[in-house]
Structure 1
Amino acid sequence: MNTISSFLTSDHRACDEEFANLENAVALDDWDDSQVKLNKFISDLLHHFDMEEKVMFPTFEEVTGMTQGPTMIMRMEHDQMRQLLNALQEDLEKKDRNHFFGVSESLMMLMQQHNMKEEQMLYAMADMRLGSFVEKVIEDMKAL
């Protein structure tokens, strides 16, 4: 059986790889490639957020009754990351390499902490509590 944990953790790793590709392009001052890679990273990360916020979180909240707990915190952190993505976009437009790497370091730390909370706690809770809904949740996330 597939698990929410394995599915979404795998997606975290894919986003991490896109982020590393972006940082490498910026380090080379390849601004055109950096923009392509930023667009890909933003698209992939926002898709990940959508899978969680539109499918997994609502199902988890409905089944568990927990609406003020972990999913609320994860949504707040998603919003913080969205703001940092906007700052990265501005830095690329200005070709401000130094500021870009300051913002990207903040984003990397936030993503690592966020992913650890999801992977070590929330996803395991979801797999355990959602039981027979897990396969449907994964199908619905794939369909987005």
Structure 2
Amino acid sequence: MSQAMMQLVRQHNECDDQLNRCEAALQKGDISSAGRNFRLFSEFLDSHFTLEENKLFPAFEKATGMTNGPTVVMRGEHAEIRSLRDEAYAAIQPEQALAAIDTLNVLIQQHNVKEENVLYPMCGGSVPNLDAVLGLGSTCCGSCS
């Protein structure tokens, strides 16, 4: 797996970790900490999705000619994840937020499995100079999905 692919997977893990911190804070009733963690999760998520949607997906589509394939599915899932994220953020009561985060976690895990096991390997085999295309070097950029 290329450096770029490993970094995309690492970004998935960073997002997961941040969302888990938010959930743990909510379970403890620490709304302030939960809010901070959720804002960070949201920033990481937006950064990661932007990288995929603006660089990875177009490069894959150009290299393969597949414009109605897996990238369309991933973009749709990104929209669904964003919607659930916004629903969780808007939840006033911790119980509502926890339920929305639980659903969000499940959707993100299913999405990540598809990207990591199907799309990323396809991109790695199809997109020349993928590391350069994504602008990702040997160190993590510090932002996530």
Judge same fold: TM > 0.5, yes or no: yes
SS at match of 2:124: helix
CA contact (8 A) 1:4 1:123 kept: no
1:18-29 maps to which residues of 2 (within 5 A)? Answer: 18-29=18-29
Q: Could you say which residue in structure 2 is the equivalent of 1:103?
A: 100
Structure 1 runs, 4 residues or longer, greater than 6 Å off = none
Q: Which residue does the alignment assign to 1:134?
A: 130
**Greater helix share, structure number:** 1
Whether 1:118 and 2:110 are equivalent positions in the alignment is no
TM-score by length of 1: 0.90
Superposition map of 1:49-68 within 5 A:
49-68=49-68
Task: Give the TM-score normalised by structure 2.
Answer: 0.89
Which secondary structure does the structure 2 equivalent of 1:101 belong to? helix
Shift of 1:29: 1.0
Is there any run of 5+ residues in structure 1 with no aligned partner, and where? Answer: none
Q: CA RMSD in A?
A: 1.8
Question: Deviation of residue 140 (structure 1)?
Answer: 6.0
Aligned residues: 139
Show CA shifts across 1:67-98 (max 9, x none): 1110000000000011111111111xx2x111
Identity of matched residues, %: 32
